[in-house]
Amino acid sequence: MKTRLSKILFDKGWTEMELSRRTGLAQSYINRVKNSRIVPTVRTAMLICRALEVPVEEAFVYEDKPFGVTQDAYFVRVQAATAE
C-alpha cells in the first residue's frame, strides 16, 4: 500500500512529530507507515486521517500488485530448475 502522507504533511506544514502528537502514535511508527514499510490497521489509518482531516482514500492508495511481488512463488522456480 502506498501513502500520500508526505505530501499531506508538507501541504499542512506539519512534521511527523506533530502528527504523532495529534494521534498518540509513535513518530517512528508514523515514519514506517509514511515510507510504506508497514501497513496500518484500518483503525490506525482512520485515526491518522482523522487527525489530518482528509479522507482515507486521499491518504492511502491500494496496490493490486505491490513492489517485489511476483506471480510465481520462489520455491516453484527452484523446483522447476532442479527438475531439468
Q: What share of the chain is helix, strand, coil (3-state, %, to 5)?
A: 60, 5, 35
pTM for the predicted model, two decimal places: 0.72
The CATH superfamily assigned to 2-61 is: lambda repressor-like DNA-binding domains (1.10.260.40)
Model confidence pLDDT, tens digit, residues 45-67: 999 999 999 999 999 987 665 55
Q: Do 5 and 34 form a contact (C-beta atoms < 8 A)?
A: yes
What are the sequence ranges of the domains in the chain? 2-61
Q: Give dist(CA 23, CA 26) in Å, integer.
A: 9
State yes or no: pLDDT of 74 exceeds 80: no
Q: Give dist(CA 21, CA 29) in Å, integer.
A: 12
Model confidence pLDDT, tens digit, residues 1-17: 688 999 999 999 999 99
Buried-state track 38-53, b at ≥16 Cβ within 10 A, e below 16: eebeeebbebbbebbe
